Each structure stands twice: as structure tokens, then as C-alpha cells.
Amino acid sequence: MSEREFHGQVTLDGPSGTGKSSVARAVAARLGAAYLDTGAMYRAATVAVLDAGVDPEDAEAVARVVAGARIEVGTHADTERVEVDGTDVAVRIRGAEVTRAVSAVSAVPAVRRQLVDQQRSLVAAADAVVVEGRDIGTVVLPDATVKVYLTAAPEARAQRRAAQLGLTTADEVAELAADLRRRDEYDSSRADSPLRPAADAVVVDSTDLGREQVVDRVVELARSAVEVRS
């Protein structure tokens, strides 16, 4: 099969800093597939919550605000479009304020139901798609063609994220590592759709792999899944 003949869904789940976004974009480009960043949707919902002046831990208020927000994301690997009620929030969703609050917002079941519905509609519109998040293989697309769960050692993840954000001082890196630990804990222990590998996911540990090696591995899995099917 040529890479471009892939039809189906590739899911990439895992904690922060394992390489999901960069790998998912590159795999989508290689397969000629659409790309969906579900984390960006939870981050956009968090912008709406913060702008409404609501406490991210107040589940009822969070659900109400998000139900009234229009969250739109693009599905092209090479351009990022994230909007809340028509305002571009693509830069703001990566800021520290949103990162601090996003795990609380995404633990609210009504928020998850709303965004999962939206994610499934976006996926249904694509013939081939790579979707990244925390619960894609377990909840959003349980019948996906290929499921990958990315892991990496916590120190490697913190180093990568620090380099990406241009953080250099030991204090900044320590603070970031603490934030990753806190989010891992929050995302893995929530009652609704906790972060964990699907039973049929292939676990790829990227600690000692370069980004391109991970991309090759995922493309290879997509290629063999289609060959097995045909």
C-alpha cells in the first residue's frame, strides 16, 4: 500500500510531552490524512471558562459556560485554527493560565460529552484522520484502525516541553516538571475517561527514539493495518 492510500483512523494518546502533537501532524502529512488535536478543544473550552470569570473547579458553572461557547478547530496538519465564539485563541490556549486550569475543566463529564460529540462529527467528515488526545482510543473512537499510546520518561518529557517553551532556569524547569506531574495525576485519576492505554493500543516509548523514528513506526502500523484488512 502506498502511504497515501490509507483510509481510516489513527489514534495517538498519552501524557504531555511524549510527542503526540508533533508526531500526529507528521503522520497526517505522510498519510495525506486530516488531523485533529482534541487537547486544543479542551484548552479552548478553558479559555471560555476563564473569560466568564468562573472557577474551573466549579463543575456546574463550567458545564454551563462551555455549553454556551462555540468552539471551532481546524483539521489540517499544517495550519492551526482554534476559535472560541469567532475569536482566534490559537496562541492563548498554550499559555500558562490555560495550562493550569485545563485538567479541571476537562474532568467535567458534560464538557467531555459535548466535545466528544463534536470530535466524532469532525472525524466522520474525514476519510482518513489522525486524532490525538487522552481518551481517543478508549472512548472517542473505540473502533479506530490503529491505536498508539505514546509514553516517555518524565524527565525527558519535562526537558522537551521546557525546550519547546524556551525555559532555561532550573526553577522554571522544576515548575514545569511539577505541572506535568500534577496534570498526569489529575488526568489519570478522574472518573470520566481517565488517561490510560486502550487494551488494543500499541504502546510506543519515545524516551530513546527521535521524533522521525516514532513517525516511521506509526506510519508502519497504519500501513500494516490496512494490508491486514485488504
Ligand X SMILES: Nc1ncnc2c1ncn2[C@@H]1O[C@H](COP(=O)(O)OP(=O)(O)O)[C@@H](O)[C@H]1O
Point out the annotated binding site for ATP. 14-22
Give least dist CB 19 to ligand X, A: 3
Question: Which triple of cell numbers denotes residue 109?
Answer: 463529564
- 135 makes contact, choosing from ligand X, ligand CDP, none, with CB < 5 to 8 Å by partner type, with ligand CDP
- 133 makes contact, choosing from ligand X, ligand CDP, none, with CB < 5 to 8 Å by partner type, with ligand CDP
Do residues 114 and 72 lie in contact, with contact meaning Cβ atoms separated by under 8 Å? no
Q: Does residue number 190 form part of the binding site for ligand X (CB under 6 A)?
A: no
43, 147, 160, 223: which one binds ligand X (CB under 6 A)? 160
Binding mask 11-50 for ligand X (x = CB under 6 A): -----xxxxxxx----------------------------
Do residues 39 and 93 lie in contact, with contact meaning Cβ atoms separated by under 8 Å? no
Give least dist CB 104 to ligand CDP, A: 8
Q: Which of residues 49-88 bind ligand X (CB under 6 A)?
A: none
Q: Give the DSSP letter string of 22-50.
A: HHHHHHHHHHT-EEEEHHHHHHHHHHHHH
Q: Does residue number 38 form part of the binding site for ligand CDP (CB under 6 A)?
A: yes
Question: Which triple of cell numbers denotes residue 213?
Answer: 523514528
Q: Closest CB to ligand CDP among 198 and 226?
A: 198
Question: d(Cα 80, Cα 144) in Å, to the nearest integer?
Answer: 24
